[in-house]
Structure 1
Amino acid sequence: MNTTRWLGALAAALSLAFAAAPAAAQQDKSIRIMVGASPGGGTDILARLLAEKFAADLKQSVVVENRPGASNTIAAELTARAAADGTTLLLATNTGQAIAPHLLKLKFDPLKDLQPIGLVAVMPNVLVVSATSPYKSVKELVAAMNDKPGSFKYASSGVGSTQHIAGEAFGLVTGTKSIHVPYKGSAQAHIDIIGGEVNMMFDSTSSAMGQIRAGKFRPLAVTAEKRSPEMPDVATLAEQGIKGADVQTWYGLFVTAGTPKPVVDRLTAELARVLKMPDVQARIKGLGGEVGAISVEQFSDMNRGEYERFGKLVRDANIKADGS
């Protein structure tokens, strides 16, 4: 099927969904991409990239709606409770899908109430400090943390976020103690790192690369199995003798469960097409990540596997919803 015919088929499928939607939905046929973090962070950056491409292809308005808080689950719940017509999408991370459900009492089931569309990207997390920080290596940082236990603060984009989990895992394997300071998104946390209010952050590369390139953050380690192509000189934690603290952030697109299968299939195909665009791939790689290149079935299995893996980690580390 050529592009023109394919887009016509997608528009027809969405039209069928709109016909069955409530009157309010018919008055505004724009597509919303819900984001559980503040503007300026990694999730927001990717959501706006997708919105631009989707709008051009689908010939209709696609808007990004930021609903930060509660470990990305506010946006997720709004998507889960939306009309199942394909007009409300969620750009989720493993924070809201796999970690928060084990810490918070949710009014929805992320595995049952949200239908996977596809994996967008996987980003390693990176341990960063302010460019003005006295610590120039992980070894120096750990030594200082041991000298003054409990006096260091690390930021995250919220309780139960991958940044939070990475910080706790780092503390477990290094035997250090630090104070967790949660924010409603990475962008807000960056201000306090640069200002010296907090000492460090295990941020996703999608959020941190801008500050690193601007010379405001100093990257000390990548929390992944291999180095980031965008930071080839920054060693992994394992290369620096710290094993067992690797945490990555993945971003996936979801739609309300119960959305008609033809609409789900078309959205999955559209995402796959967008992710093959050279400029989209370059943008994701420029953020230090890898483009999602698995089937929706594989992503569904990954989503469930991550839910189970992080549930065990939360229990083993005794992580609580109060940030401890």
Structure 2
Amino acid sequence: MRRRLLLALPGLLAVEAASAQTPYPTKTVRLMVGANAGGGTDIVARMLAEKLAESMKGTFVVENKPGASNTIAGDLTAKAPPDGHTILVATNTGQAIAPHLLRLGFDPIKDLIPIGLVVNVPNVLVVGASVPVNSVVELIAAMKARPGEFKYASSGVGSTQHIAGEAFDAAAGVKGMHVPYKGSAQAHLDIIGGNVQMMFDTTSSAMGQIKAGKFKPLAVTSERRSSELPDVPTLAEAGLPGFDMTTWYGVYVTAGTPPDIVTKLQAELTRIVALPDVQAKLRGLGGEPGTMSVEQFARFNAQEYERFGRLIREANIKPE
């Protein structure tokens, strides 16, 4: 009898472990996005919501909470019940940049658990179709000839677009006027309407306007050319070396979320990002799908926090 009990013990423990798993999801899961609908973060979040709903047999909805340099969504996630039913789809704007510029009610390193990297997207310098320049050289010459007249849009103070614009001004010896928005959608309308001349937008957000002929792409701000814009030079190729300003998109949950839910979400995200149709969509947005392990992304997240803090101090960027 004792031998039978011992032989049965591993099976009993497995049953107990399985029954101890936290049920998930048990209600609607909110994917928080710190920007308006239509922007790069929103596009990524809606794709993830669809895939998660399919595989996890639950309801996943995207909630747009623009403002405060994409940190409102992060604040809501950090303060949500730690049950995995609030997920943050964030960029380095909210996670690594804004904390150095704004007084936040949460700590993006301590109060959020990294789930994984979805995609890394280069920024592209675009001008409106009516702006009479067709290269970086021509843009610099025009900005020098008409100082203060060229306005550049961003998705907020301290965003990667803002930092790229400040770095461009310093490298090119020009001075553009920064015009911050709550997201890319309104900025696009003002560029198309001629109220703003230029923007360092993500390829994922700008690609539709580029394909429609409403934006002219002059250069990408990554080390290599974008696979979706192979004829567009890097800023280094255009004569301004040293630029590496990309926007990455990652997924986070509230600190304190049960480990089995965290593990389940990490496995699901890894599986989803590897799907052929998802890879194709991410590359179609001009991005490189994430390939980091969970541990690598956690380290990368912390390193980017430090890197952007240093860049902000060097450029003396202040909240407006």
- TM > 0.5 between the two? yes
In structure 1, the residue matched to 2:170 is: 172
1:251-290 equivalences under 5 Å are 251-290=249-288
Task: Report the AA paired with residue 314 of structure 2.
Answer: D
Q: Deviations over 1:260-300 (max 9, x none)?
A: 11110110000000011111000000000000001011001
2:71 counterpart residue number: 73
| Structure 1 residues 54-203: aligned runs within 5 Å | 54-203=52-201
Q: Counterpart amino acid of 2:146? A: K
The residue identity in structure 2 corresponding to 1:58 is M
1:295 to 293, 296, 313: 293
Secondary structure of the 1:299 match is helix
Q: 2:305 maps to what in 1?
A: 307
| Cα deviation, residue 244, structure 1 | 2.6
Structure 1 residues without counterparts, runs of 5 or longer: 1-8, 19-25
Within 2, Cα distance between the matches of 1:98 and 1:165? 12
User: Deviation of residue 93 (structure 1)?
Assistant: 0.3
Aligned equivalents of 1:163 and 1:170: distance in 2?
A: 10
Q: Does 1:40 align with 2:41?
A: no
Q: Would you say the 8 A contact 1:237–1:246 is kept in 2?
A: no
Q: Are the counterparts in 2 of residues 173 and 244 from structure 1 also a CA contact under 8 Å?
A: no
AA of the residue aligned to 1:199: Q
**Alpha-carbon distance in 2 for matches of 1:297, 1:192:** 41
- Report deviation, 1:10: 10
Deviation at 1:13, TM superposition (A): 3.8
Give 1:132 shift: 2.0
One-letter code of the match for 1:246? D
**Conservation of the 8 A alpha-carbon contact between 2:223 and 2:243:** no
Q: Which amino acid is 1:86 matched to? A: G
Aligned to 1:4: none
Aligned-pair distance for 1:246?
2.7
Q: Are positions 1:53 and 2:51 aligned together?
A: yes
TM-score, normalised with respect to structure 2:
0.93
Q: Find the aligned partners of 2:117 and 2:57 in 1 and give their Cα distance.
A: 23
Q: Deviations over 1:187-226 (max 9, x none)?
A: 1100000111001000000100111111111000010001
In structure 2, the partner of 1:21 is none
User: Residue type of the partner of 1:114?
Assistant: L
1:146-194 CA-partner distances (Å, limit 9, x unpaired): 1122221000011111110110111111111011000010111000001
Contact 1:14 / 1:85 at 8 angstroms: preserved in 2?
no
Q: How many residues are paired up?
A: 304
Aligned-partner SS, 2:301: helix
Tell me the amino acid that sits aligned with residue 65 of structure 2.
R
Distance 2:172 2:298 in 1: 34
TM-score (structure 1 length as normaliser): 0.92
The percent of aligned pairs where both chains have the same amino acid is 66
Which residue of structure 2 aligns with residue 242 of structure 1? 240
CA separation of 1:294 and 1:127: change in aligned 2, threshold 3 A: same
Distance 2:281 2:43 in 1: 10
Aligned partner of residue 252 in structure 2, secondary structure:
strand
The residue identity in structure 1 corresponding to 2:52 is F
Question: Given the alignment, which residue of 205, 208, 211 partners 2:209?
Answer: 211
1:98-153 deviations in Å (ceiling 9; x for gaps): 00000000010000000000000000000001122101000000011111222210
2-structure distance, mates of 1:236, 1:136: 14
